[in-house]
Amino acid sequence: MAPPKAHRSGSNKRAQMGLFAGYVLAGASAAIGAVLLGISLWSPQTFQGLRAMALDLASPAGQAGAATRVQSRSLFEAIAGYYDAGSRNAELSREMAIARVRLAEAEALRQENQRLKAALDLIEGEELGQVAVARLIGSSSSSSRRFAFISAGSRDGVRPGMPVTSPMGLIGRVVETGSSTARILLLTDSGSMIPVRRATDNVVAFAEGRADGSLRIRLINLGINPLEEGDVFVTSGAGGIFRPGIAVAMVTEVTEDGAIAQLLSNPAATDVVIVEPIWQRPAIEAAERELSAQSSVD
């Protein structure tokens, strides 16, 4: 291919000036970009209005895509199903047999639980409401940050800070809201850190996002590492925001000071998410109860 003529300004003064102005403008826009980058790294919320507006405008495309995602996924699953139907069948019937036993055990446990609760005269914990139900319409799939976009915004009552869950567990929390969309920080973002505890006992830890889609569990009490593969972590409710008891992750690899855990609710396999209110009221109430109990003791 012949060399392009764009650079041959020759002795034409005007063309030379145009070429020069092009470089100056390009250099200036790179410099402006660097300044804006500095500002947005220093205070990440500076340009959130701009981003939220753009996302609101572009979200119809995302919503249409989210609807087709559910359909196309089931299509791929149906095709994949033909390949390993036989082994899958045997495996499933074996699992089914085990599951029946487990179901019976669970039923027994449920009855026992009911009986004990009745004996203790416990009231069922107040169910926390949901703010909105939304679809995941996209994610920052080409960036090193892990954000996702959902199809509910301030018009539906979504506010920054609210936890976002799926039926399988915690997904993340809202960081920015537009009027009909919101941006959520996924648990796997390296800027995300949530207080968790082991589901079976009270080993408390922090779950910190790693960029590769897993979580690092950092124990708060250092010492002998009590974690084992397969341990499930749930939110502890410490510090508010996330209500206690939402499933978060399962340990897959034990390290010296904690563990590496995989998310239980993989956002990639989720299409409908629930935005929950910020959990703090019960904590305040509990604190008040304690205070009043203390004052009555005094």
Partner 1 sequence: MEQINPRSRRDAYGKKINRDHSPALVYGVPCVTIMLGSLFPLLPVIAPAPIMPPMGLMVLLAWRLLRPGLLPLWVGFPFGLFDDLFSGQPLGSGIMLFSLALIALDLLELRLPWRNFWQNWLTGAVVLTVYLLLAAIVSGADFRLAHFGLLLPQLLLAILLFPIISSLIVLLDRGRLMRVRRIG
Binding range to partner 1, per CB under 8 A, among 17-25, 85-93, 105-113, 245-253: 17-25
Residue 74 binds to partner 1 (criterion: CB under 8 A): no
Binding range to partner 1, per CB under 8 A, among 108-116, 182-190, 199-207, 231-239: 182-190
Residue 49 binds to partner 1 (criterion: CB under 8 A): no
Number of residues that bind partner 1 (CB under 8 A): 65
Residue 285 binds to partner 1 (criterion: CB under 8 A): no
Residue 28 binds to partner 1 (criterion: CB under 8 A): yes
User: 247 Cβ partners below 8 Å, 6+ apart?
Assistant: 168, 169, 170, 199, 232, 233, 234, 264, 265
Would you say 241 and 110 are in contact if contact means Cβ atoms under 8 Å apart? no
User: 263 Cβ partners below 8 Å, 6+ apart?
Assistant: 169, 187, 188, 213, 214, 215, 248, 249
> Which residue number, 9 or 225, has a Cβ lying nearer to partner 1?
9
> Which residue number, 59 or 236, has a Cβ lying nearer to partner 1?
59
Residue 1 binds to partner 1 (criterion: CB under 8 A): yes
Alpha carbon separation from 200 to 18, 120, 196 (Å, rounded): 70, 21, 12
Chain positions 119 to 178 lying near partner 1, rule: CB under 8 A, are 136-149
Would you say 181 and 53 are in contact if contact means Cβ atoms under 8 Å apart? no
Binding range to partner 1, per CB under 8 A, among 33-41, 77-85, 154-162, 199-207: 33-41
Exactly one of 12, 16, 17, 33 binds partner 1 (CB under 8 A); that residue is 33
Rounded distance between C-alpha atoms, residue 108 and residue 126, angstroms:
24
Rounded distance between C-alpha atoms, residue 89 and residue 85, angstroms:
6
Closest distance to partner 1 from the beta carbon of 245 (Å): 24
Exactly one of 12, 29, 74, 255 binds partner 1 (CB under 8 A); that residue is 29
Q: What are phi and psi of 38, to 5 degrees?
A: -60, -45
DSSP H or E run through 38: helix 13-42
E-assigned strand segments in 210-281? 214-219, 232-235, 247-255, 258-263, 272-275
Residues forming contacts to partner 1 in the complex (CB under 8 A) are 1, 3-7, 22-23, 25-30, 32-41, 44, 46-47, 50-51, 54-55, 58-59, 61-62, 65-66, 68-69, 136-149, 188-191, 211-213, 263, 266-268, 270
